[in-house]
């Protein structure tokens, strides 16, 4: 697959989204970056421009479908997108005393991680279908395969993202649009700073971005990493439920209360 020239990334102000922007930033590349934190986004845009890329940035909350639509339409009018990465997401889980997510928290997770990802994907797919060209990557998680007892709503949203991506991959195949589902494990981002517990197989966001870019350039439709964690997760699904729960005990965690209300984990 030809390396993309125009790349759009949602949730680009920090974490994996920012790492992906840096990974693609180079002379001849055009980056269309969107996130809620416009100040951080502008700083990232300046950094990417110093690397030779042209950058378009816009403040977008993926929970607002009108903002998503305007961002996609304005980007397409400027220059058609070769690769869209629907990355924006937030994280939350149970507290140190076993407190479950509040109703506002779980609604925020579903609206951002699932509805926002689907809306971003759908808005771009409409344009790509008209020209019968494009590639859309949607960021899920290994938690979609092995749900986390301590982050059940987050796990459910990522499982929904994976299911949607797989369905749309088949639906868009005849339109010559490639779809990739990305399932990372733990990465060194703001998400893992609130995670109180073992972070098995954790890698830097920069390394994760390099893996994703390399595999997207190959046209892979299913990108799960780290490899060892992916294998363990798959094997774990073969175990009877009580045994699987027992083997997961060393990896149980909670979300740090001081940071639990911070809703920015893109």
Residue 133, phi-psi category: left (phi > 0), alpha (psi -120 to 50), beta (remainder): beta
Q: Which CATH class is domain 6-255?
A: alpha beta
pLDDT at 2: 77
Residue partners of 75: CB distance under 8 A and separation at least 6: 8, 32, 56, 81
For 238, list phi and psi in degrees, rounded to 5. -85, -15
69-102 pLDDT tens trace:
999 999 999 999 999 999 999 999 999 998 999 9
Kindly state the tokens that stand for 55.
């950058």
Distances (CA, A) of 116 to 24, 87, 119, 255: 23, 9, 5, 23
From CA 188, how far away is CA 205, in angstroms rounded?
6
Cβ atoms of 40 and 14 within 8 Å: the answer is yes
**Domain-by-domain residue ranges, the chain?**
6-255
213-260 pLDDT tens trace:
999 999 999 999 999 999 999 999 999 999 999 999 999 999 987 554
151-198 pLDDT tens trace:
999 999 999 999 999 999 999 999 999 999 999 999 998 888 888 899
């Amino acid at each position: 697959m030809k390396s993309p020239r125009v790349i759009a990334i949602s949730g680009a102000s920090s974490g994996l989204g920012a790492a992906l922007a840096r990974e693609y930033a180079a002379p001849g590349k055009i980056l269309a970056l969107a996130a809620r934190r416009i100040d951080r986004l502008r700083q990232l845009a300046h950094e990417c421009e110093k690397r030779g890329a042209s950058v378009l940035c816009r403040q977008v909350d993926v929970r607002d479908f009108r903002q998503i639509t305007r961002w996609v339409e304005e980007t397409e009018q400027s220059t058609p997108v070769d690769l869209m990465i629907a990355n924006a997401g937030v994280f939350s889980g149970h507290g140190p005393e076993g407190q479950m997510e509040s109703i506002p928290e779980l609604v925020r997770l579903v609206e951002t991680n699932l509805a926002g990802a689907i809306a971003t994907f759908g808005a771009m797919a409409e344009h790509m279908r008209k020209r019968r060209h494009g590639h859309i990557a949607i960021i899920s998680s290994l938690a979609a395969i092995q749900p986390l007892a301590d982050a059940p709503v987050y796990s459910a949203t990522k499982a929904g993202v994976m299911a949607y991506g797989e369905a749309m991959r088949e639906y868009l195949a005849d339109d010559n649009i490639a779809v990739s589902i990305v399932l990372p494990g733990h990465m060194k981002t703001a998400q893992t700073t609130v995670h109180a517990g073992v972070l098995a197989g954790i890698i830097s966001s920069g390394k994760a971005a390099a893996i994703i870019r390399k595999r997207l350039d190959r046209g892979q439709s299913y990108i799960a990493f780290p490899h060892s964690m992916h294998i363990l997760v798959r094997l774990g699904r073969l175990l009877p439920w009580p045994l699987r729960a027992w083997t997961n005990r060393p990896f149980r965690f909670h979300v740090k209360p001081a940071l639990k209300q911070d809703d920015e984990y893109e």
